[in-house]
Amino acid sequence: MATGRTHRPATRSRGIPEATVARLPLYLRALTALSERSVPTVSSEELAAAAGVNSAKLRKDFSYLGSYGTRGVGYDVEYLVYQISRELGLTQDWPVVIVGIGNLGAALANYGGFASRGFRVAALIDADPAMTGRQVAGIAVQHSDGLEKIISDNGVSIGVITTPPGVAQQVCDRLVAAGVTSILNFAPTVLSVPDGVDVRKVDLSIELQILAFHEQRKAGEEAAAGTDGGAPAVAARGESASADKGPDGDVPAVMPA
């Protein structure tokens, strides 16, 4: 696996922390909303509130991009929209393919948030011949036989996998072999990819499980409180009852790896 090789000489002129990168889209969305309301400038405090983070964090994040604010005033909304877009690479066009057109694939194809950023759904691909030719979100579904050609004809470097888990790895392999170097995986499987290929995963049930964990803590917390009969207290072995967890509104997206 990862082989610890390359020990980056720590050259860090332009090294934006992962945690910051993961928040840039958040700021961008908030800024876009302000822009649509023709708000000209915004303070770190206001923008932070709109993005759901705290202002010190936001200022620190922006400091990695450069000094784009004006002391005593705030940030110019349009300028910041542009800078963040550029930093994220959204000023260019990213053709994307979605493989596996079930409900989830269709949901993604219809999702407005893609087109409004730099993403363009170049193709929808499915292995089921019955799906081929069907229109989803105004795009004709193509059969997976042509996957390689579709990738190279469209210069696709980002692929989205929304197939059943059983075929996700082989779809992934084909995507990578065809030239895709970034994959967003919705299938509940661990994908293995060669060095140089990025994978991010979104796992629907993991998020729920994390919520359940915290929910359970809450339930245990009100120890003596006789709540409704809806929640059966599971009394396993010697339980701890003390649970403490900073409730916390701003948990970033899915999970930085």
Partner DNA sequence: CCCTGTGAATAGTTTCACAGCA
Partner DNA sequence: TGCTGTGAAACTATTCACAGGG
Angle subtended by helix axes 55-65 and 18-36, to nearest 10: 100
247 part of the interface to its own copies, by CB under 8 A: yes
* Tokens 């090789």, located at residue: 5
254 part of the interface to DNA, by CB under 7 A: no
Contacts with DNA by CB under 7 A: the residue count is: 34
Which residue from 64, 68, 61, 63 is spatially nearest to 82, judged by alpha carbons?
A: 68
Looking at the Cβ atoms of 70 and 110, the one nearer to DNA is: 70
Looking at the Cβ atoms of 133 and 252, the one nearer to DNA is: 252
Q: Between residue 39 and residue 58, which ones bind DNA under the rule CB under 7 A?
A: 43-45, 54-57
Stretch that binds DNA, among 4-12, 146-154, 155-163, 184-192 (CB under 7 A): 4-12
Tell me if 102 is assigned to a ligand binding site: yes
Q: What are phi and psi of 39, to 5 degrees?
A: -75, 125
Tell me if 147 is assigned to a ligand binding site: no
Tell me if 191 is assigned to a ligand binding site: no
- Hey, CA dihedral for 58, 34, 254, 186, is it positive or negative? negative
Contacts of 192 (CB under 8 A, 6+ apart): 169
Nearest distance from C-beta of residue 72 to its own copies, angstroms: 19
Nearest distance from C-beta of residue 32 to DNA, angstroms: 18
| 24, 31, 75, 95: which one binds DNA (CB under 7 A) | 75
182 part of the interface to its own copies, by CB under 8 A: yes
